[in-house]
Amino acid sequence: KNSQGHGFCGAKTVALHRLSMAIISVAIQKGGAGKTTTALNLAAAFREMGQRVLLVDLDPQSHLTQALGIADDPERSIYPFLKKAAAGGELNLLDVKQTVHGIDVVPACLQLSFAEMELVSEYEREYLLDTLLQPLQNQYDQIVVDCPPAVGVLTVNALVASDYVLIPMQAEFLPLKGVLSFLPFLKKVQKLNKRLSILGVVITKYDPRLGMTEEVLRELQQQPDLQNQVLDSRIRVNIALAKAQQRGSDIFTYDSLSNGALNYMSLAYEVMERMK
């Protein structure tokens, strides 16, 4: 177990802890891809490695916030901070953080949906989240941002602030088309943030018994823009992942021996290797 009493702390912990902070956005413009589940449990896997982790919920649906049992409170969310950042105020995002199962969380709220309209005319609106996250450089090893299922101002903010983007995808043809249509958007954002790179596409809700799954994977791997970008780790269909969120928990806290926990730990190690 690690110093916080969680399991899965292996021999690689010390080496991994020495890496500099990385900001990772989990993003795709299509709902139902497993985006929130991936953001939450990837962050929890980092915690199991002994990493200092901050989760940022930037989705107005607040699914990540709800999955951790955090009450909806507009004043205790990221929403007013984005507005104050646009006004040039001195801010500390950690003033609204909550700690759940050893992970610091900046919650979202439904009112965050107003930000798409309220911020669209602000000067340098794409850099507001970056302004809020940069002062945290020495306080965390990893910051994971759960993005909205859209390509608006909030998602642009997340990607401009990030070093990496992780793209979750269900192995079906419509999600595949969603990923392919997301790539041109990413290229435009990379003009604003030249350090942003793709960590890879992670297959979620994976069921190898379905013939369509392998067919979609073959087509995905043949895409010129995704050469070597399909991660080896697969997140299999696992009811424990849904039950963990029902209990306001990550998969490791709920059931550290489940397939969901094993899959997300595998993903975390693969992500760390790619970041190195």
SS3 assignment, position 230: strand
Helices (H), the chain: 13-17, 35-48, 63-67, 79-86, 115-118, 128-133, 153-161, 173-192, 211-221, 239-246, 251-254, 259-275
pTM, rounded to two decimals:
0.91
Note the maximum CA span of the chain. Answer: 54
pLDDT of the chain, 276 residues: tens digit per residue:
443 444 444 333 323 333 478 999 999 998 889 999 999 999 999 999 999 999 999 999 999 999 999 998 888 999 999 999 998 877 899 999 999 999 999 999 999 999 988 998 888 899 999 999 999 988 999 999 999 999 999 999 999 999 999 999 998 899 999 999 999 999 999 999 999 999 999 999 998 888 788 889 989 989 888 888 999 999 999 999 999 999 999 999 999 999 999 999 999 999 999 998
Per the listing, tokens 């993903």 go with 267
